[in-house]
Copies of this chain bind each other. A is one copy, B any other.
């Protein structure tokens, strides 16, 4: 169900103002959703990897914009069609509710994250990324420092300094700015509220 569409890196999948006629699933690549506040600051709603669903909303307009972070293929699903299907098919309805629940819990986690200190936020972020690539002791970030900062509600300088501090305390090792080895997960976990 749904058509596959390709988006080049730097394009736009949908904007904040657009109608919520479609929802999306990442097939390959990666996507970020974000919102620009009236003072120019940007808040990232989430990062989405293959398999993840985004743009699942319940108002008339999208609350966030969505952009591919790399060249990306997404499956596009008509919202009306899905909801109609859900009314006749309980297992689809269950899926729909399940995914909403996933999103909701993620938001709750983010909410808790945002009241914590810079160290705690960055540590949580690293663990969150690591969870999605569980095999490795190291992680590769798909996003820039600016993306991380806007995700965690802080500045790029603070992100950078915090990573340096975590390296100094032997919790992680920076091998190039986007490749990070997690040396001591206990230290990171201890920071994770």
Contacts and interface: CB of A to CB of B under 8 A. Distances in A.
Interface of A: 35, 37-39, 41, 43, 45, 57-59, 63-64, 86-88, 90, 93-94, 96-98, 100-105, 107-108, 110-112, 114-116, 153, 193
Nearest to A193: B37
5 smallest CB-CB distances across A and B, nearest first, come from A58-B101, A115-B153, A107-B107, A114-B114, A87-B90
Contacts of A43: 111-112, 115
A63 B153 CA distance: 23
14 contacts: A35-B112, A37-B112, A37-B193, A38-B193, A43-B112, A57-B105, A59-B105, A86-B93, A87-B93, A87-B94, A100-B101, A103-B104, A104-B104, A111-B114
| Copies of this chain in its oligomeric complex | 2
Contact of A58 (B58, B90, B97): B97
A97 B96 contact: yes
A90 to B, nearest CB: 4
